[in-house]
Amino acid sequence: MLNPADAAFAQRLATLLPEGTLAPAEPRYLEEPRRRAVTPQALLARPRETAEVARIVSACAQARVGLIPWGGGTGLVLGQVQPEGPAPVILSLERMNRLRGLWPEENLMIVEAGMTLAEVQAAADGAGRLFPLSLASEGTARIGGNLATNAGGTAVLRYGNARELCLGVEAVLPDGSVLNGLTRLRKDNTGYDLKDLLIGSEGTLGVITAATLRLFPQPAATATALLAVIGPEAALELLTLAQIRTGGAVTTFELIHAQGLLFLDEAMPELRQPFADRPDWSVLIEIGLAPGLDPEVVMTGLYEAAEAGSLVRDGVIAQSGAQARALWDLREALPEGNRRIGAVVSHDISLPLSEIAEFLRRAGPVIAAIGPFRVNCFGHLGDGNLHYNVFPPKGGRAADHRDKAGSIQRAVHDLVHALGGSVSAEHGIGRLKTRDLEAYGDPAKLAAMRAIKAALDPAGIMNPGAVLAP
């Protein structure tokens, strides 16, 4: 059993820290973006240095007080809120936002966990390099949280998830000890890779305080287009064609269903759309090019080859940075359109690429058998990640169909699991999907996870209730 972060504990902890580190938690630290749950009460800690984090974690371990690491609060699976249980300490890394070092010749940088993703990107750009992790929430999300959740985003196809972009971490472990793992080495086979254990652990095994990140050369030019495809199978063939023609230079390949565009018509009519008739399926493709290649020539050649292969029926090729930005604005508006319509239930799933078309063929009738719902399917087709979201009939309210949400989710997740997919592609487990992990996770993997958790955090103070069900 854990104890609350009450006034007596706060008073003891304050003696270990600089003045102003502790405060009552404001509402923004207690909520999550979709307003499904809140932390009723918590003590807020905002340290400025790793040593202060270590003192906070050590004090929590000794007093058996729960601790929730907090980055930017943008997570979507309730990993940053604790609706039940004794009041925890919310440990915000926002003040730990320094750039510790940048080596352009090594394509590396060391950053503290409180830097926002946008700040990390800007620092890399200032050195003529690219940090390719890209999310809609990059102005708010912090790099420590991105690593703790192994964030994905729109460039995974070419550069990988957050895990692939990190060489090392500094972290405070559940007993307050500091793991000094900020290596700049690309080859270091000296035992277990604890970095990869902490990345994706969602704050349940330690607090990431800094990281060594990989950088890349900036593309000399970028080609961007929105192409109306014949269907999901044609979209996948187009991806293969694009990779072959560009030598694997496709950075982004986003699938968009007509329902998402119709939602934008309904909820955001001021947003300009490039196709007068909304195509059933379209893809937003972006290609990062080497010097000497003309973006328009590359994309036009791809479109003509795809048209000859009966893969596309229409397309818009960006002629400028502003036109490319307009196409991205359309893609990035899809989640906001969804929010304004109001989903009955949302799914963050991934599938083997060759199973995606089969999933879409089978999922539609499964949902229709439950009720007359609308489905908006969009996402990162290039890496197999779909956001398969279910909405009420036009004119209906999501709240009137909440009793069907569980049935819809089980049906979708059962189908995903049967086709070799995952019920959490990029958002993580948090507290929202712990039962899903129990239902669909490999038993041996779950047993190993519990053993690791018990070994590193025997008191269970680190983000209690997240990832592994109590």
Per-residue pLDDT of the chain (470 residues; tens, 9 = 90+): 999 999 999 999 999 999 999 999 999 999 999 889 999 999 999 999 999 999 999 999 999 999 999 999 999 999 999 999 999 999 999 999 999 999 999 999 999 999 999 999 999 999 999 999 999 899 999 999 999 999 999 999 999 999 999 999 999 999 999 999 999 999 999 999 999 999 999 999 999 999 999 999 999 999 999 999 999 999 999 999 999 999 999 999 999 999 999 999 999 999 999 999 999 999 999 999 999 999 999 999 999 999 999 999 999 999 999 999 999 999 999 999 999 999 999 999 999 999 999 999 999 999 999 999 999 999 999 999 999 999 999 999 999 999 999 999 999 999 999 999 999 999 999 999 999 999 999 999 999 999 999 999 999 999 999 999 88
Is residue 47 situated within a structural domain?
Answer: no
CA pair distance 169, 148, nearest whole angstrom:
11
Is residue 312 situated within a structural domain?
Answer: yes
Q: Which of 217, 238, 257 is the last residue of a domain?
A: 217
pTM here is 0.95
CATH number of the domain to which 319 belongs: 3.30.70.2190
Phi/psi of residue 281, each to 5°?
A: -135, 140
CATH number of the domain to which 130 belongs: 3.30.465.10
The pairing of strands 348-350 and 385-391 is antiparallel
Q: 40 near 86, Cβ under 8 Å?
A: no
**Rg of the chain's alpha carbons, rounded to an integer?**
23
Is residue 256 situated within a structural domain?
Answer: yes
Please report the pLDDT score of residue 470 as a whole number: 81
- Outline where DSSP puts E strands in 198-356: 207-214, 216-217, 221-229, 250-257, 281-289, 312-317, 348-350
Q: Which of 300, 323, 341 is the last residue of a domain?
A: 341
Is residue 184 situated within a structural domain?
Answer: yes
| Residue 185 and residue 281 in one domain | no
Question: What is the separation, in whole angstroms, between the first and last Cα of the chain?
Answer: 11
Is residue 398 situated within a structural domain?
Answer: yes
| Residue 297 and residue 212 in one domain | no
Structural domain of 380: 342-427
Is residue 420 situated within a structural domain?
Answer: yes
Residue from 146, 218, 145, 208 nearest 174 by CA: 208
| Residue 406 and residue 363 in one domain | yes
| Residue 350 and residue 366 in one domain | yes
Residue from 33, 39, 27, 50 nearest 88 by CA: 39
Q: SS3 letters for 152-206?
A: CCCCHHHHCCHHHHEEEEEEECCCCCEEEECCCCCCCCCCCCHHHHHCCCCCCCC
CATH number of the domain to which 360 belongs: 3.30.70.2740
Cross-strand bridge partners of residue 92: 70
Q: CA 230 from chain center: how many Å?
A: 29
Is residue 49 situated within a structural domain?
Answer: no
Q: Which of 298, 326, 341 is the last residue of a domain?
A: 341
Phi/psi of residue 71, each to 5°?
A: -100, -90
Overall domain count for the chain: 3
| Residue 362 and residue 420 in one domain | yes
| Residue 237 and residue 332 in one domain | yes
Is residue 235 situated within a structural domain?
Answer: yes
> Which class for 45: exposed (0-12), middle (13-18), buried (19 or more C-beta within 10 A)?
buried
Helix H segments across 49-193? 50-63, 117-126, 143-148, 156-159
Please report the pLDDT score of residue 358 as a whole number: 97
Q: 380 near 156, Cβ under 8 Å?
A: yes
CA distances from 196 to 192, 291, 410 (A): 9, 34, 30
Please report the pLDDT score of residue 399 as a whole number: 95
Cross-strand bridge partners of residue 348: 387
| Residue 106 and residue 211 in one domain | yes
3-state helix vs strand vs coil in the chain, percent to 5: 40, 20, 40
